């Protein structure tokens, strides 16, 4: 939600004459809607397998979510090997881009985990972190939404990152889309997230 006011500001003069829908859907579903012409643009993860163009808005590092009273909260940063022996909450195959980034990171670090649970979204991840007392890797925007029962810590070293992009079909001739894209460079700002 940190980008929404800026996105609306880009179209402030045109807002009375256009329809803006704010909804939360999975990136594959948004990419499909873009490809079929049901949406002009969407903020999502760059989904492979769709004939879409993407513009990066922000790059978010992944952080470790854990219960607020977990023993690892004493650390300022979490090492990949700290996942060993802990219940791990993994992004499901529905969140394909995030799932692949996490899987590649763990493989490159030589860490083997057996996911205890798979989650489709951040709300599910936070709920399972708190109730199953597990660890999860999620984009750092999660820091803005954490309940008291869940905290985050950065990863030690080079943390994996995931792009937030504007997606659209190059065949879409919408004048509003064209105007938005001509101003979209103003959205590319670094957003700071604080660890809790």
In a domain, 145, yes or no: yes
Q: Which domain holds residue 106?
A: 59-69+76-161
| pLDDT band at residue 184 using 50, 70 and 90 as cut-offs | confident
Which residue in 70, 79, 184, 188 sits closest to 132, CA to CA? 70
Q: Is the distance from CB of 186 to CB of 12 less than 8 angstroms? A: no
Distance between CA atoms of residues 64 and 36, nearest Å? 36
In a domain, 95, yes or no: yes
In a domain, 51, yes or no: no
Position 189 scores a pLDDT of 47
In a domain, 132, yes or no: yes
| pLDDT band at residue 78 using 50, 70 and 90 as cut-offs | very high
On average, the pLDDT of the chain sits at 88
Position 188 scores a pLDDT of 62
Residues 6 or more apart in contact with residue 87 via CB below 8 angstroms: 116, 117, 132, 133, 134, 135
Which residues are bridge partners to 151 per DSSP?
Answer: 66
As given in the structure block, the two tokens for residue 42 are 């969407």
Position 1 scores a pLDDT of 58
Q: How far is CA 31 from CA 14, 65, 123, 177, in A?
A: 25, 27, 21, 16
Position 194 scores a pLDDT of 37
Distance between CA atoms of residues 171 and 69, nearest Å? 51
In a domain, 166, yes or no: no
3-state helix, strand, coil in the chain (%, to 5): 35, 25, 40
In a domain, 137, yes or no: yes
What tens digit of pLDDT does each residue of 120-152 get? 888 899 999 999 999 999 999 899 889 999 999
| pLDDT at residue 79 greater than cutoff 70 | yes
Position 6 scores a pLDDT of 78
CATH of the domain at 113: 3.40.190.10
In a domain, 177, yes or no: no
In a domain, 11, yes or no: no
Q: Which pTM was predicted?
A: 0.82
Tally of domains within the chain = 1
């Amino acid at each position: 939600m940190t980008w929404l006011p800026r996105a609306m500001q880009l179209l402030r003069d045109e807002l009375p004459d256009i329809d803006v829908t704010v909804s939360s859907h999975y990136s594959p579903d948004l990419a499909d809607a873009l490809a079929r012409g049901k949406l002009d643009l969407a903020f999502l993860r760059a989904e492979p397998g769709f004939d879409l163009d993407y513009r990066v808005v922000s790059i978010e590092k992944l952080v470790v979510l854990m219960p607020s009273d977990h023993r690892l909260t004493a650390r300022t940063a979490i090492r990949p090997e700290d996942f060993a022996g802990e219940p791990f909450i993994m992004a499901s195959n529905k969140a394909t881009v995030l799932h692949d980034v996490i899987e590649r990171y763990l493989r490159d670090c030589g860490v083997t985990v057996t996911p205890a649970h798979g989650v489709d979204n951040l709300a599910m991840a936070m709920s399972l972190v708190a109730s199953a007392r597990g660890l999860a890797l999620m984009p750092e925007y999660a820091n803005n939404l954490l309940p008291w029962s869940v905290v985050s810590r950065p990863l030690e070293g080079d943390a994996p990152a995931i792009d937030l992009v504007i997606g659209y079909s190059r065949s879409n001739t919408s004048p509003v889309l064209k105007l938005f894209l001509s101003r979209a460079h103003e959205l590319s700002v670094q957003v700071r997230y604080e660890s809790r």
